[in-house]
A and B are shown apart, each in its own frame.
Chain A
Amino acid sequence: SAVISQKPSRDICQRGTSLTIQCQVDSQVTMMFWYRQQPGQSLTLIATANQGSEATYESGFVIDKFPISRPNLTFSTLTVSNMSPEDSSIYLCSVAIYYNEQFFGPGTRLTVL
């Protein structure tokens, strides 16, 4: 298994600002993912974070809005840019080794006013 931490655990932000969420894993992993979970809904994949190269974004998500970094095999950041109330969600980081079992971080609860 893998132990994943996320910072911050929650935040309340003003419209138009940006927030960077950090994801730290206790071991080297091949795959890191960022998901969004809107209230009362299931998970939606935002992107796959690739080490040393640009992230792979899913349909409906763009790099300008959700820039992602992954400088090494244990750390990634997701930035939510120019936020609006529609961005209020739980943001979740997950990891997997060669597309096998997934493990999730505790999530970041974001509220945009």
Chain B
Amino acid sequence: DGGITQSPKYLFRKEGQNVTLSCEQNLNHDAMYWYRQDPGQGLRLIYYSQIVNDFQKGDIAEGYSVSREKKESFPLTVTSAQKNPTAFYLCASSMRGTGELFFGEGSRLTVL
């Protein structure tokens, strides 16, 4: 079945460690996105990519990094520079036209 797969679903990290969240899609979408969700807030855009080997900062990119070496994959690294990394992270992709976003199931990161 086509869709977006995020892993891991739950991740615990000690302060000072970098962690990488995986996002894979088999929908053949050009555009991919990473959002952060905090309780009682909407989604905030971290990074997006419109094509392989290209990505752009979103509204809250500080402390995060991404890569887009393959069309299907858009991993997100949460670095030790991110001051408040505990959150729910959502990966999405979209096709041209309506811009409908297809979301993965999310990854919950907790910093201990």
Q: Do A and B bind each other?
A: no
Report which A residues bind B (CB closer than 8 A). none
Report which B residues bind A (CB closer than 8 A). none
